[in-house]
């Protein structure tokens, strides 16, 4: 099935793993005369809509870029506000996510968070460990280059010989070792940058860049992204065989 913009039909070909760079919160807030943190809170509120839509459409894995290793360079008040939002989400929404079958996973480093918040993150992961309806990877204090550097360091520490290193081995040392690579990556707000996000895992992902700011990216916008994905032919670096070629 091939839908058209505005078509509400769910495509036949649904990506198993969708990753989202949730961009545009600050600009969304500025356009409304609000502080940047209000945009981040609106972005968190929007996540519930997207989670519900992912379950409805049959997406099995959702990875969101919540806080990068570079975000520590933002103004201290904004950083503290983002950390407070993370804690509020765990305190207020964890059990609802758990009851709805969402499994939480963390990609990145917990360093930088206070000990009590680190414990809350670990408890959330443990509580939802057996849920199967949707796996939600939260990339917090995450950077793609940092992930690869850490994987290489661990390979060396484990005494892996150069002749043993291949792509499948490296995959086992990444944060995403137990889930498939993203089929589709969405970056909202119209910006066209990868921003150090899953740079190993997205080598052959399809990318989609809607103009919509993240707080306004809801069910219909996700459906449009999935419809566009369904139209594409993924080649993984190969050339399509000519018609009639055997």
**Catalytic amino acids?**
23, 71
pLDDT band at 4 (very low <50, low <70, confident <90, very high): very low
Quote the CA–CA distance of 25 and 107 in Å, as a whole number.
21
Mean pLDDT estimate for the chain: 93
**Span of 108-112, 152-156, 168-172 with lowest mean pLDDT:** 108-112
Structural domains in the chain, sorted by start? 17-144+181-231 (3.40.1180.10)
Quote the CA–CA distance of 178 and 119 in Å, as a whole number.
22
Give me the residues paired with residue 19 across strands.
63, 185
Q: Is the pTM of this model over 0.95?
A: no
Give me the residues paired with residue 103 across strands.
135
Residue 9 is classified by DSSP as P
Return the residue matching tokens 């409304």: 32
- What are 94-144's pLDDT values in tens digits? 999 999 999 999 999 998 889 999 999 999 999 999 999 999 999 999 999
Residue 99: what pLDDT? 96
- What are 187-240's pLDDT values in tens digits? 999 999 999 999 999 999 999 999 999 999 999 999 999 999 999 988 777 666
Quote the CA–CA distance of 89 and 73 in Å, as a whole number.
23
Residue 180 is classified by DSSP as P
Mean pLDDT along residues 65-80: 93
Query: What whole-number percentage of the chain has pLDDT above 90?
Result: 89
Give me the residues paired with residue 17 across strands.
61
Tell me the C-alpha to C-alpha distance, in Å, between residue 95 and each of 34, 123, 124, 136, 194: 30, 11, 9, 14, 32
């Amino acid at each position: 099935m091939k839908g058209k913009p505005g078509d509400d039909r769910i495509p036949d070909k649904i990506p198993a793993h969708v990753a989202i760079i949730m961009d545009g919160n600050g600009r969304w807030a500025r356009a409304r005369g609000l502080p940047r943190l209000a945009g981040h809170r609106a972005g968190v509120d929007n996540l519930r809509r997207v989670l519900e839509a992912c379950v409805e459409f049959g997406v099995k894995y959702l990875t969101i870029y919540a806080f990068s290793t570079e975000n520590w360079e933002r103004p201290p008040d904004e950083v503290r506000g983002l950390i407070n939002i993370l804690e509020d989400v765990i305190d207020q929404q964890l059990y609802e996510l758990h009851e709805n079958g969402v499994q939480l996973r963390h990609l990145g480093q917990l360093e930088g968070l206070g000990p009590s918040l680190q414990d809350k993150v670990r408890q959330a992961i443990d509580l939802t460990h057996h849920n199967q309806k949707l796996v939600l990877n939260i990339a917090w204090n995450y950077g793609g280059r940092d992930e690869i550097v850490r994987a290489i360091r661990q390979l060396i520490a484990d005494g892996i010989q150069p002749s043993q290193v291949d792509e499948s081995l490296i995959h086992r040392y990444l944060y995403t070792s137990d889930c498939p690579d993203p089929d589709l990556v969405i970056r909202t707000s119209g910006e066209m940058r990868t921003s150090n996000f899953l740079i190993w895992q997205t080598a052959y992902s399809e990318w989609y860049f809607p103009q919509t700011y993240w707080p306004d990216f809801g069910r219909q916008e996700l459906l449009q992204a999935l419809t566009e994905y369904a139209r594409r032919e993924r080649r993984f670096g190969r050339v399509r065989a000519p018609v009639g070629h055997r």
